Amino acid sequence: MSLHDCRLIDLPRITDVRGNLSFIEGGRHVPFDIKRVYYLYDVPGGETRAGHAHRALQQFVIAASGSFEVILDDGSNRRTQALNRSFFGLYICPGIWREMVNFSSGAVCLVLASEYYDEADYIRDYEAFRAYARRRE
């Protein structure tokens, strides 16, 4: 997998003067069945989260409130994706190092995951990740 496989996905929007609604269906709006949902909140403004990769896990990351940026790295290339609207999200494929940075005050990061939590799936050391990425090539 490479950075080209990571992409923004627009979500359906139903607009209404009383408030808008977006929804997500696993296998339809995201390219996997959803097995886990978690969210980050009360992250101090400007703080960094993540700093790891997954061997098999796929994720869909949404700025449910506020904004933050996701730095993506496939071992050869890096790019930064801003997330600041709740009607689109970032699909992150397996084998991509990710860091979440520049959280706005009060931001909520919602993450949909393709697998249940498995510590063995994590690569938490960047140099170990780079070695893993070279082996995949």
Q: What pLDDT was estimated at residue 47?
A: 80
Question: 81 burial class (0-12, 13-18, 19+ CB within 10 angstroms)?
Answer: middle
One of 4, 29, 52, 54 is an active-site residue; which one? Answer: 52
* 50-97 tens-digit pLDDT: 899 999 999 999 999 999 999 999 999 999 999 999 999 999 999 999
Please answer whether residues 63 and 70 qualify as being in contact, where contact means their C-beta atoms are separated by less than 8 angstroms: no
CATH number of the domain where residue 7 is located: 2.60.120.10
Q: What pLDDT was estimated at residue 62?
A: 98
What is the rounded average pLDDT of the residues 25-52? 92
Q: Which residue segment(s) compose the domain that 48 sits in?
A: 3-136
52 is catalytic: yes
Structural domain tally of the chain? 1
